[in-house]
Amino acid sequence: MPVFPKNFFVGAATAAHQVEGNNLHSDYWLMENMPHTSFAEPSGDACDHYKLYQQDIEMMAGAGLNAYRFSIEWARIEPREGRFDAAEIAHYRDVIRCCRKNGLEPVATLHHFTSPAWLIRKGGWEAETTPELFARYARFVAEQLGSELNYICTINEANMGVQIAAISERYTRQMKATAAKTVEGGAAEGQVQMGIDLQKMMENRKLAVMENEQLFGTPQPHVFCSSRTPRGDELVMEAHKKAKVAIKSVAPRIKVGLTLSLHDIQAQPGGEENAAREWWEEFTHYLPAIESDDFLGVQNYTRSRIGANGILPNEAGAETTQMDYEFYPQGLEAVIRRVARKFHGELIVTENGIATADDTRRIAYIDLATQGVARCITDGIPIKGYFYWSLLDNFEWQKGFAMTFGLVAVDRSTMARTPKESLHYLGHLRV
């Protein structure tokens, strides 16, 4: 078991839509409640964290954690274009102050996949107007909450749309070649670090067109986690840069960065060129947009083996998680070391975790991953913290509530919390 110094962040992470519940003005709320949705179930009350945040923060503090990464929901703050909700900004102020009261550093994320529905009706994340609209929201949050925050992540997994575009293309090829066998759909899904159901998306595509038209005014709404075009990728980076300028203009002392979804990309014989291209798409080509950032949020769950014909399936007999990821916690250290060769600011592990019903495997995963983090620190890599994903067994997007990433179990009929041993294990990683 590694032991980190007192000023090192040892925390847990959540995303607003996945835990708060009743995110009524967001794009995802509309999509998951469509008659022909690709979601296994709607989020509903989720984990009711919107009401129970104080209990959850006190539970983290009691276990020994000293930091909490959470997201501020844009769709709550600006439910209608240009109309900011004072009550909602007050809510997140209360969350931040509750963290401070309990000795937890609040690390806020401004966008964690979900967007206001009105933004999607204006063209979403492929619209030229979106970067400026996002910056306006970021400025408002900084004006209202900036005096109480030291760290802001602008955008969570800014590269997710690019990853989904690649996975969708690969899965489409699989469908044509194999008549869309379910097992191969699962293999494809295991290559993207969020809960998606590609097969159901493909089956429902035609049925959803009319419903999308009714809800968003377009048969193909460009939500943040849609397959992203090259221009859309540029717009996300523009949104980040404009938001950073807006935040710094209000509160220059705040450290600002974004997070990226990163695999430990391993070239197998004959796959060297493909592996280099995968890393360029996943990380390297973002460097011009982020190299001056105060920090980078590193998010890793597993590895990706690349052969001569692209991504390879898991090796025979490999342990896999509920998400079909290979159990590979040592990937985190490899990713940190590779990122640190090019990005020279502070690094924060903003997500790392495992979906499993066996908490002993969660503890083993955390142990191996954090040992790697400790070795990186010993070698002089500037790592500020480690946030496990996730605090709660939450709403894992299209997979619904079946994926149990949490350090804490949630009885969704009563919302009762049951801390797992892994929560206490994580809390004991500090001096």
Active site residues: 157
Give the CA angle between residues 402, 304, 199 to the nearest 5°: 45
Write the CA distances from 121 to 22, 132, 311, integer angstroms: 20, 16, 35
DSSP string, 252-305: TTSEEEEEEE--EEEEPTT-HHHHHHHHHHHTGGGHHHHTTSSEEEEE---EEE
Looking only at the bridges linking them, the beta strands covering 105-111 and 9-13 are unpaired
Closest CA to 333 of 379, 293, 290: 379
Please say whether the beta carbons of 20 and 46 come within 8 A: yes
Does an H or E element contain 322, and which? none
Structure tokens at 24: 């009524």
Backbone φ and ψ of 199, nearest 5°: -60, -45
Among all chains, which residue has been given the structure tokens 């903003």? 350
Question: Both tokens of residue 157?
Answer: 């997994």
Closest among 123, 109, 95 to 299, alpha carbons compared? 109
Please name which of 57, 73, 67, 83 lies closest in space to residue 21, comparing C-alpha atoms: 73
Euclidean distance between CA atoms 46 and 410, whole angstroms: 10
Cα end-to-end span (Å), the chain:
12
- Scan for tokens 């919107």, then name that residue: 50
Strands 416-419 and 408-411: antiparallel
Partnered with residue 255 across adjacent β-strands are: 151
